[in-house]
């Protein structure tokens, strides 16, 4: 009997990762992510999966980012009652991210109803905070490098992917086939995360392609960030920095800490981390010392170089403070969360600055700001943008095209087949053609919903 994969998400787009592995009468889902970005993508979250959740026997997660885990509460709500296998770091982050995701969806629905700009009334949340809390007990933690059986007779092993805390690649062994899921791969030269481990031998590989068409600049986040912060400090402005609460927020805090130490940014420049999620995640770095490059002192310094803003009252109070100051706040692509209030408040003034810190999916406010748009729609109204826009090119938590190819090349033996996933159409196709030409491997970009052999 063959082993097939159906690409339920993460094909032709970076979001919605869901890879359904099918053999005999068993189904296993690798990743269970939300679609994010363009409205027509987000609407896909409302379309039922092609397989009933109760027919899925287990889920294995590569990491906790919502485009890999954020559909879990809905899967459970719709009848999935199997186990979800994940590393300890991923479980710890899911405890922070999933309830928050439910909360944001409830808030968005409520806000839309209150301001009556929802096209469909009443607007409903995809799932609630309570749905997310109900999902957490399904998660069972597994160790890196230790083989486990998510389904009797199926084996799986996690290896470190270096992307965020807990991030893994997954080797699945089913009926003699070895299938490797890269997950999101970090950079070998990341400021805070340890490099990805070399991949094991596999017959079939699914590789991410977020930056499949790009080479990261050789400059690092310190050399990019220093002049921007100097400029905004000098003119007494406010830098609003949309950050991914998990990963980028910590990298930036560490970078700011180093710049202050070196005297390249005034030590007196006030820094605020306005995201309870990012605050919790920052604290987790001290609990997971094996997975990142930071020493105990570095982890400690990182958690103390900013004022941690927890309550909404403290967050609101930031609007009446004067610059210069730096506000790091989620979400990283300005799709929701507290950063929207800061953007609405500060984007209009040319003394201020908006610093975009990583990949901005097409259709998100972050991408709109990055394109130089003079206004952006927030909470149903148009906000003028006069602030300086700075895009950090070096702050990505993803490997670039050469690093992705090097990772594939470091496999002990060439795989039979590579599926290029987790990328927009252009980057995915560019990586596919390089894999074919430079490595001589069979590579395809599977279409959304299509099924392929392993």
DSSP 8-state class, residue 44: G
Identify whether the C-beta of residue 208 lies closer than 8 Å to the C-beta of residue 404. Answer: yes
In the complex, least distance from residue 61 CB atom to Zn ion, rounded to whole angstroms: 11
Nearer to Zn ion, 106 or 208 (CB): 208
Strands (E), 330-402: 353-356, 375-378, 381-384, 388-391
Hey, which residues between 154 and 213 contact Zn ion (CB under 5 A)? 184
Nearer to Zn ion, 33 or 82 (CB): 33
In the complex, least distance from residue 146 CB atom to Zn ion, rounded to whole angstroms: 23
In the complex, least distance from residue 108 CB atom to Zn ion, rounded to whole angstroms: 22
In the complex, least distance from residue 297 CB atom to Zn ion, rounded to whole angstroms: 27
Hey, which residues between 53 and 82 contact Zn ion (CB under 5 A)? 65
Please give the helix or strand (H or E) that residue 27 lies within, else none: strand 26-30
Question: What binding mask, one character per residue, do residues 239-278 give for Zn ion by CB under 5 A, x or -?
Answer: ----------------------------------------
Identify whether the C-beta of residue 418 lies closer than 8 Å to the C-beta of residue 435. Answer: yes
Query: Distance between CA atoms of 385 and 220, rounded to whole angstroms?
Result: 27
Nearer to Zn ion, 70 or 415 (CB): 70
In the complex, least distance from residue 280 CB atom to Zn ion, rounded to whole angstroms: 18
Tokens of 43: 């609407």
DSSP 8-state class, residue 193: B
Query: Distance between CA atoms of 385 and 376, rounded to whole angstroms?
Result: 7
Count CA atoms closer than 13 A to 86's CA, side-chain side.
Answer: 30
Nearer to Zn ion, 15 or 128 (CB): 15
Nearer to Zn ion, 184 or 190 (CB): 184
Nearer to Zn ion, 244 or 419 (CB): 244
Tell whether residue 22 is a contact of Zn ion (CB under 5 A). no
Identify whether the C-beta of residue 384 lies closer than 8 Å to the C-beta of residue 375. Answer: yes
Nearer to Zn ion, 184 or 274 (CB): 184
Cβ-Cβ contacts under 8 Å for 276 (sequence gap 6 or more): 100, 310
Got the DSSP string for 132-175?
HHHHGGGEEE--BT--EEEETTEEEEEEE--SSTT-EEEEEEET
Query: Distance between CA atoms of 65 and 86, rounded to whole angstroms?
Result: 12
Phi first, then psi, for residue 325 (nearest 5°) are: -165, 165
In the complex, least distance from residue 234 CB atom to Zn ion, rounded to whole angstroms: 35
Got the DSSP string for 86-103?
E-HHHHHHHHHHHHHHHH
Nearer to Zn ion, 97 or 232 (CB): 97
Nearer to Zn ion, 196 or 323 (CB): 196
How many residues bind Zn ion, per CB under 5 A?
2
Please give the helix or strand (H or E) that residue 257 lies within, else none: helix 248-262
In the complex, least distance from residue 144 CB atom to Zn ion, rounded to whole angstroms: 17
In the complex, least distance from residue 333 CB atom to Zn ion, rounded to whole angstroms: 12
In the complex, least distance from residue 127 CB atom to Zn ion, rounded to whole angstroms: 20
Nearer to Zn ion, 233 or 367 (CB): 367
In the complex, least distance from residue 65 CB atom to Zn ion, rounded to whole angstroms: 4
Please give the helix or strand (H or E) that residue 343 lies within, else none: helix 339-346
Query: Distance between CA atoms of 156 and 154, rounded to whole angstroms?
Result: 7
Sign of CA dihedral 155, 158, 159, 162: positive
| Residue sitting closest to Zn ion (CB) | 65
Query: Distance between CA atoms of 120 and 453, rounded to whole angstroms?
Result: 40
Identify whether the C-beta of residue 16 lies closer than 8 Å to the C-beta of residue 33. Answer: yes
Residues engaged in binding Zn ion (CB under 5 A): 65, 184
């Amino acid at each position: 009997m063959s082993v097939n994969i159906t690409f339920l998400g993460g094909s032709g787009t970076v979001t919605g990762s869901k890879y359904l592995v099918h053999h005999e009468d068993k189904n296993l889902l690798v990743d269970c992510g939300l679609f994010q970005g363009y409205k027509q993508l987000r609407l896909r979250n409302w379309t039922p999966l092609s397989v009933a959740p109760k027919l899925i026997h287990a889920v294995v997660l590569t990491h906790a980012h919502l485009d890999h885990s954020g559909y879990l509460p809905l899967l459970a709500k719709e009848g999935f009652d199997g186990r979800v296998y994940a590393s300890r770091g991923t479980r710890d982050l899911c405890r922070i991210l999933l309830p928050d995701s439910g909360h944001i969806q409830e808030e968005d629905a409520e806000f839309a109803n209150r301001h009556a700009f929802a096209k469909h009334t009443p607007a409903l949340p995809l799932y609630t905070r309570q749905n997310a809390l109900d999902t957490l007990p399904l998660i069972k933690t597994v160790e890196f490098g230790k083989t486990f059986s998510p389904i009797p007779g199926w084996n799986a092993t996690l290896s470190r992917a270096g992307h965020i805390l807990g991030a893994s690649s997954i080797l699945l062994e089913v009926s003699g086939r070895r299938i490797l899921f890269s997950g999101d791969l970090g950079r070998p030269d990341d400021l805070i995360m340890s490099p990805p481990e070399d991949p094991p031998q596999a017959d079939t590989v699914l590789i991410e392609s977020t930056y499949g068409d790009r080479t990261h600049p050789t400059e690092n986040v310190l050399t990019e960030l220093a002049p921007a912060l100097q400029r905004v400090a000098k003119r007494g402005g406010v830098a609003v920095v949309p950050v991914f609460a998990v990963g980028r927020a910590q990298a930036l805090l560490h970078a700011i800490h180093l710049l202050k130490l070196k005297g390249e940014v005034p030590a007196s420049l006030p820094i605020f981390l306005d995201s309870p999620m990012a605050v919790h995640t920052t604290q987790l770095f001290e609990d997971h010392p094996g997975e990142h490059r930071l020493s105990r002192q570095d982890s400690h310094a990182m958690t103390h170089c900013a004022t941690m803003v927890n309550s909404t009252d403290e967050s609101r109070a930031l609007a009446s403070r004067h610059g210069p100051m730096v506000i790091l706040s989620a979400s990283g692509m300005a799709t929701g969360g507290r950063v929207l209030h800061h953007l609405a408040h500060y984007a209009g003034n040319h003394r201020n600055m908006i610093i975009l810190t990583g990949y901005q999916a097409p259709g998100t406010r972050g991408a709109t700001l990055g394109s130089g748009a003079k206004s952006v729609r927030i909470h149903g109204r148009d906000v003028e943008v006069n602030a300086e826009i700075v895009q950090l090119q070096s702050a990505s938590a993803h490997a670039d095209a050469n690093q992705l190819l090097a990772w594939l090349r470091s496999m002990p033996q060439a795989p039979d087949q590579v599926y290029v996933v987790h990328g927009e159409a252009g980057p995915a196709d560019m990586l596919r053609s390089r894999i074919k030409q430079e490595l001589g491997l069979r590579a395809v970009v599977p279409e959304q919903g299509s099924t392929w052999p392993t």
